[in-house]
Amino acid sequence: MKKFILLFISALFSFGAFSKPDEGMWLLNKIAQLNYGDMQKLGCKLSAEEIYSINNSSLKDAIFQLQNSQGMGFCTGEIVSNKGLLFTNHHCGYEAITKLSSPEHNYLDDGFWAKSYDDELSVKDMRVSRVVRIEDVTDRVLEGITDETSESEREKMVNKVRKEIAEEAKKDTHYEASVSEMYQGGEYYLFVYEVFGDVRLVGTPPQAIGKFGGDTDNWMWPRHTGDFSVFRVYMSPDGKPTKSYSKDNVPYQALHHLPISIAGIEEGDFAMIVGYPGQTERYLSSYGMIYKRDFFNPSIVTVLETKLKTLKVDMDADINIRLANADSYASNANGHKLFKGEALTLKNSDAIQQKEQLERDFQKWVESDYARNKKYGNVLSNLKQSYEAFGPVTVDMIYLSVGLLQGSDNVMSAQAFMNLANLLKDQKNNKTAIDAIITNLKSTSNKMFDKYFPDTDRKVFEATLKLYIEEIPAERRNAVFTDYIFKKFKAKTEAESIEKFIQAAYTKSIFTNKEKMDAFLEKPSYKTLNNDPIFSFVTSIFSNLMSTQMSYLGAMDGIDVNERLFIEGLREFQPNKTFYPDANSTLRLTYGTVNSYKPSDGVDYHYVTYSKGILEKEDPTSDEFTVPVELKEKILAKDFGRYADETGDLPICFLSDNDITGGNSGSPIINGKGELIGLAFDGNWEWLCSNLLFSEELERTINVDVRYVVWIIDKLYDCQHIMSELDIRTNK
Ligand code: ARG
């Protein structure tokens, strides 16, 4: 899910200007001061202190970021019991679920419910992190920096202090800490975290429920997806986070867990979402938007489309191939539809015109004052120039990186061998270093070959190579073709030469054959690598990358400085407007209401969907719209118990006008009393440029209703041990 920003038109500016109540991803340590009054008016009953406190337990203590083992955040989850039970989306648990699945234990297709703690499945590559406290450290970070400080000097100074502050915060504690940049370098905030590395899968519905509607319904309303999964966080017996799984660990006792309200919702009810939105660019100039519409998005869409189409054929034919690729397929398909929808919205809506209007007003204001003009006079023209240069070179970069270098598993793994090749040139003197690298490469290579399907890999590689040749004119191509492929694999036509190269790559290379790879790792030699077709392909690309990279980075430089100045200028230009920083994977809160929308003339979308809609969409011939038998039976029997609303049907998903983006997936949507009413999981097709501009009329969050979630746990799969932990509230 995803979302975006705003229209600061002149009218707004001249009246003073508030953001719309539903716009903005706010820092929690600022809400008491900036937002709380508004929130109360909309129906928030909690105090600001109950939402964010550094002295007492508060709502924020129940909200966790889901991270991979490298600490990269990808989703949000919330604690719903005093035994560390964590709810998140099904699509957030997707990687864990597919990795734990096999054709024999196919949790992805069949679902999984642990009957006891012992049944829970340890998830190796996931950790979860909670914010302990947030502190504004802007003054200290920017001390000594003036308008005269050069960009490179500025960067050095800022990074040094950021590191110092984080180190101080960690000292003598088990905490992690980092200083995050806001407003493109206008402000800095310290975040102190507690990170838990022992996370286990407790339950998931089959993907026919968790991903019902598949890529067809993705990013769309009306929706009927049960997009949730259940995990448990563990801690050491003495109550501390641990780095990884241990059988001695015990369920985590959170400082706060969310009660669950099954009392129902109505349009207009207060609703807030707390989570970890990944990235927005709400202060992007119109030139940046045009760049995305015309260059960035179309190229990424074409490359992903080629990969997805090729992969799908083999995934449909073989369950092993499907399970091995399900996760990367799903995330590429999700990105593909997002980038396509974003470009379309930019084309068909007035988003860019809104931004242009703001820029005209800004420029007029800038030029009306000598000092302002000196500082900001060229910001917009610089951005225009930089983005115009950035466009074509981005296309080259995307085809090269996402197309060629990430085109196949083997090409990616070959990149990890470049260091080794250097060391092998002087094998005798580098023995220790070589041994260390080989140990690492053995484990990487085992992992890669564990689920490697050379025929499928070959098809994807071939398709992306051909696409590159078709789309990138000869004079802009990486010299790997002229220097290596067309030279080493001479043939009558370019196409035949590529065929010959691919044939060699999949019959001779160590990167496409496990036995050959194992033999090499036992007895590594420079000569083998140097003669390897895939390794030579990769090194040739890298040795010819410099010029593309230089123009790419060059254009980016001009963008960074001027974007920072643009925001700084905008904040001066609109002194009465309450600004919020772009999303950057740090903890944020957005508030608004349960709210429907009108997607187009004559069409009114209701804010809630029901179980009958699942049966309306059912199509047993499509894997996206297959309804599990047990679900269909219960829906037909109307066996909804206390989870039905006044219509007698079971609510499935609902809409709210909260302002979220990717990374918020799995976030709790919370009522005015601090109770969980659903899980946010998507944005909507009619405003997919939400990362760049907010729309009050068209931007919505799609949530799965918590009544559907708990009904599935309670009634559909009868998981009474989970039910006994949940803190269910039935009064509105
Ligand atoms: N669009 C959602 C997001 O970006 C992901 C939905 C996953 N479901 C799917 N059918 N691919 O968070």
For ligand 1, whether the C-beta of 665 sits within 6 Å is yes
Residue 350: predicted pLDDT: 97
What's the whole-number mean pLDDT along residues 377-390? 95
Instruction: Say if residue 239 is exposed, middle or buried (CB neighbours under 10 Å; 0-12, 13-18, 19+).
Output: exposed
pTM flag (> 0.85): yes
Residue 21: predicted pLDDT: 63
For ligand 1, whether the C-beta of 202 sits within 6 Å is no
Residue 114: predicted pLDDT: 98
Residue 455: predicted pLDDT: 95
Residue 20: predicted pLDDT: 61
For ligand 1, whether the C-beta of 682 sits within 6 Å is yes
Alpha-carbon distance of 630 to 621, in angstroms, equals 18
Residue 548: predicted pLDDT: 79
For ligand 1, whether the C-beta of 218 sits within 6 Å is yes
Find out whether 657 and 699 touch, Cβ atoms under 8 Å.
yes
Res 227 pLDDT > 60? yes
Cβ atoms < 10 Å from Cβ of 409: 23
513 vs 18 pLDDT, higher one: 513
Res 155 pLDDT > 90? yes
For residue 310, what pLDDT band results from cuts at 50, 70 and 90?
very high
303: its two tokens: 């490359």
For ligand 1, whether the C-beta of 212 sits within 6 Å is no
Q: How many residues are there in the chain?
A: 732
Ligand 1 centroid – CA 381 distance (Å):
37
Find out whether 288 and 382 touch, Cβ atoms under 8 Å.
no
Of 339, 342, 681, which is best to mutate to test ligand 1, by the most ligand atoms within 8 angstroms of its C-beta? Answer: 681
Alpha-carbon distance of 412 to 534, in angstroms, equals 10
Please confirm, yes or no, whether 224 is among the known catalytic residues.
no
The torsion angles phi and psi of 679, rounded to 5 degrees, stand at: -125, 125
Ligand 1 centroid – CA 345 distance (Å):
18
What's the whole-number mean pLDDT along residues 204-228? 98
Of 625, 665, 667, 679, which is best to mutate to test ligand 1, by the most ligand atoms within 8 angstroms of its C-beta? Answer: 665
Query: Torsion-angle region of residue 33: left (phi > 0), alpha (psi -120 to 50) or beta?
Result: alpha
For ligand 1, whether the C-beta of 214 sits within 6 Å is yes
For ligand 1, whether the C-beta of 307 sits within 6 Å is no
**Of the listed 22, 198, 227, 532, which one is catalytic?**
227
Alpha-carbon distance of 269 to 267, in angstroms, equals 6
The closest residue, in CA terms, to atom 7 on ligand 1 is: 91
Alpha-carbon distance of 407 to 410, in angstroms, equals 9
- SS3 sequence of 268-326: CCEEEEEECCCCCCCCCCHHHHHHHHHHHHHHHHHHHHHHHHHHHHHHHHCHHHHHHHH
Ligand 1 centroid – CA 76 distance (Å):
14
Alpha-carbon distance of 467 to 109, in angstroms, equals 33
Q: How far apart are the first and last CA of the chain?
A: 28
pLDDT tens figures, 19-52:
466 899 999 999 999 999 999 999 999 999 999 9
363: its two tokens: 């420029």
**Of the listed 665, 667, 690, 695, which one is catalytic?**
665
Residue 1: predicted pLDDT: 43
Residue 398: predicted pLDDT: 93
Which atom of ligand 1 is least distant from the CA of 664? Answer: 12
Ligand 1 centroid – CA 441 distance (Å):
33
Please confirm, yes or no, whether 122 is among the known catalytic residues.
no
Find out whether 655 and 221 touch, Cβ atoms under 8 Å.
yes
**Of the listed 91, 256, 257, 336, which one is catalytic?**
91
Alpha-carbon distance of 287 to 387, in angstroms, equals 6
Residue 17: predicted pLDDT: 37
Which atom of ligand 1 is least distant from the CA of 665? Answer: 12
Alpha-carbon distance of 3 to 21, in angstroms, equals 15
Res 124 pLDDT > 60? yes
Find out whether 551 and 391 touch, Cβ atoms under 8 Å.
no
Ligand 1 centroid – CA 139 distance (Å):
39
Cβ atoms < 10 Å from Cβ of 378: 15
Res 6 pLDDT > 80? no
Ligand 1 centroid – CA 549 distance (Å):
32
For ligand 1, whether the C-beta of 211 sits within 6 Å is yes
pLDDT > 90 in the chain, percent: 89
Cα–Cα distances in angstroms (integers) from residue 63 to residues 151, 228, 230, 364, 713, in the given order = 36, 15, 14, 44, 21
What's the whole-number mean pLDDT along residues 338-356? 98
Alpha-carbon distance of 611 to 615, in angstroms, equals 7
Mean pLDDT of the chain: 94
Three-class SS state of 91: helix
Please confirm, yes or no, whether 227 is among the known catalytic residues.
yes
Which residues, at least 6 apart from 155, have a Cβ–Cβ distance to it below 8 Å?
none
User: What count of Cα atoms within 13 Å lies in the side-chain half-sphere of residue 133?
Assistant: 11
Cβ atoms < 10 Å from Cβ of 611: 23
Alpha-carbon distance of 577 to 90, in angstroms, equals 38
Alpha-carbon distance of 546 to 562, in angstroms, equals 25
CA triple 465-337-92, angle to 5 deg: 105
For ligand 1, whether the C-beta of 345 sits within 6 Å is no
Find out whether 305 and 330 touch, Cβ atoms under 8 Å.
no
Tokens 């950790």 locate to: 127
Which atom of ligand 1 is least distant from the CA of 214? Answer: 10
What's the whole-number mean pLDDT along residues 462-466? 93
For ligand 1, whether the C-beta of 326 sits within 6 Å is no
592: its two tokens: 């608004």
Can you spell out the DSSP letters for 577-630?
S---PPP-SS-EEEEEEB--EEEETTEEE-SEEEHHHHHHH--TTSTTS---HH
For ligand 1, whether the C-beta of 703 sits within 6 Å is no
Res 197 pLDDT > 90? yes
Res 547 pLDDT > 80? no
pLDDT tens figures, 563-618:
999 999 999 999 999 899 999 999 999 999 999 999 999 999 999 999 999 999 99
